[in-house]
Copies of this chain bind each other. A is one copy, B any other.
């Protein structure tokens, strides 16, 4: 069965990138599930942003994640319900709501940084290890690579086995 998106090349590059991205996120989710991390893979960028940059107002969080502000508002509400982040008022501007990691959030990030992120990063790096050449070829190689050995199986094989 022909893969139409792939055949159409540049014309459907957007759909294709989105499709590969979703695939990667889903696979990453499986790695996290296996490590008993209770957060959706898609929430990690937000947690990572707070980890890297410290407490931030909603708008700046949106900017640093490259997504629209309502998306951040929603994720923050969700993570706040899980007790991983909390929102406080700014002192000098009552409109701004500063988001920060709670103690639990901090702990989760630390665990993830130690156990999960290195595996995931290594698995993706493994997937992309031998890529070169034109973008479309690299994307095809990623798709084929994921189909051959899903990310979560690449994550099992630690350090030495990779590359």
Contacts and interface: CB of A to CB of B under 8 A. Distances in A.
A121 interface: yes
A67 B14 contact: no
A78 interface: no
Interface of A: 1-5, 7-25, 27-28, 41-42, 44-45, 48-49, 52-53, 60, 63-67, 117, 120-121, 124-125, 128, 131-135, 138, 142
- The quantity of this chain's copies bound in the complex is 2
Contact of A52 (B2, B133, B142): B2
B11 A121 contact: yes
Given A14-B22, A17-B17, A67-B19, A134 B134 contact: no
A2 B48 CA distance: 12
A25 B14 contact: yes
A1 B7 CA distance: 37
Report, nearest first, the 3 A-B pairs whose CB atoms are least far apart.
A14-B24, A18-B21, A17-B21
A10 B124 contact: yes
